[in-house]
Structure 1
Amino acid sequence: MKKSIIIDVISYLLVLLFVYTGASKLLSYGFFYAQLHKQPLPEAILPVLSVAVPVGEILVATCLLVPRFRKVGFFASLLLMSAFTLYVGYILKFVPGNKLPCTCGGVINMMSWRQHLVFNSFFTFLALVGFYLERKQSYPEQKKMLVV
């Protein structure tokens, strides 16, 4: 399979994930904001997170759709998914009973915390592979643009 096809498939899977979760959070913002307040996070950062997370997810998805910004999109995906995965790991390890509500958005918030860990780990791995492959990818049309 051509490397560019693999990059495209990984990119589209991440776009689907980030657009779905970002849009779900924005469309049900009140619910997302209420769930966020139940998390073990400092109260002062919650207003910023409530906007930055869904908008950031949509911006990352946009970067993944534009070949010129795809490397940045994969790197940002890797950072976001790593942060989400580490957070889920923290919940599983340190929160008794893992009874906190999920703030993921959409049907994804119906997963258990263990399912989230597997799900997030899978998408973190995809972002890492995408970043690695994209880093080595060359685009002739981009080289032409740089020369002009």
Structure 2
Amino acid sequence: MQKLIGRTRIGTAIDAIAQTKAAHWLSKKLLWLYKGLPELIVYGYAFLYIYTGYNKLRHVQVFIDGNSKIPLVGQYAELIGWGIPSLEILLAVLLALPFVRVKKIALWPSVVLMGIFILYLTTMSIFFPDRLCHCGGVIESMDWTTHLIFNLLWLGAGVFAIRKLSKNELTEARL
């Protein structure tokens, strides 16, 4: 009986219907994920910045001492040692607030800060191959290439989230 159904047009129709239902279900789930991705990225940034900011403040003297050894930046080690982690924690708090406008506003400096970190990493990896990263925790244990790729992915995700959130705002304004 199964062979007969497989050879007929009915079998083909049944297969087509089953594939269509599965494809429809999958497309609905992927669309739901795609629509929620900007919000997930925002919370990812919040988690990332609270993690690194807390870790730097927890070991602030190590962070300041590490920054003092960096050429051109070393003279501002104290300011950077307290300023960067404080800024990261502030951005993390703003990104976690339940107000959409605040999240959108805080996402911009978060992405810019990530871009600055990428510039720093690129400069350090080209001119000073010694390990001069003091991000803290797991991130500090990455090699230069992995760390750069990690930051580039977050930068791309942040730009994607900004674009999607702005596009959603325009769509909602038209309704």
Fold shared per TM-score above 0.5: yes
Q: Is the 8 A contact 1:15 1:65 kept in 2?
A: yes
Tell me the equivalent position of 1:108.
139
Tell me the equivalent position of 1:72.
105
In structure 2, C-alpha distance between the alignment counterparts of 1:8 and 1:132, rounded to whole Å? 12
Shift of 1:36: 1.3
Over the aligned positions, Cα root-mean-square deviation in angstroms equals 1.9
Q: Is the 8 A contact 1:38 1:100 kept in 2?
A: no
Give the gaps of 5 or more residues in structure 1.
144-148
Tell me the equivalent position of 2:39.
8
The structure whose Rg is larger is 2
Tell me the equivalent position of 1:30.
61
1:93 and 2:122 correspond:
no
In structure 2, C-alpha distance between the alignment counterparts of 1:40 and 1:130, rounded to whole Å? 34
The counterpart of 2:114, out of the listed 51, 68, 81, is: 81
Moved more, 6-15 or 34-43: 34-43
Shift of 1:4: 4.8
Q: Is the 8 A contact 1:24 1:106 kept in 2?
A: yes
Higher relative contact order at CA 8 Å, sep ≥6: structure 1 or structure 2?
1
In structure 1, C-alpha distance between the alignment counterparts of 2:59 and 2:161, rounded to whole Å? 30
In structure 1, C-alpha distance between the alignment counterparts of 2:107 and 2:59, rounded to whole Å? 27
In structure 2, C-alpha distance between the alignment counterparts of 1:137 and 1:49, rounded to whole Å? 36
In structure 2, C-alpha distance between the alignment counterparts of 1:59 and 1:125, rounded to whole Å? 22
In structure 1, C-alpha distance between the alignment counterparts of 2:49 and 2:96, rounded to whole Å? 12
Q: Is the 8 A contact 1:22 1:57 kept in 2?
A: yes
In structure 1, C-alpha distance between the alignment counterparts of 2:40 and 2:146, rounded to whole Å? 23
Paired residue total = 138
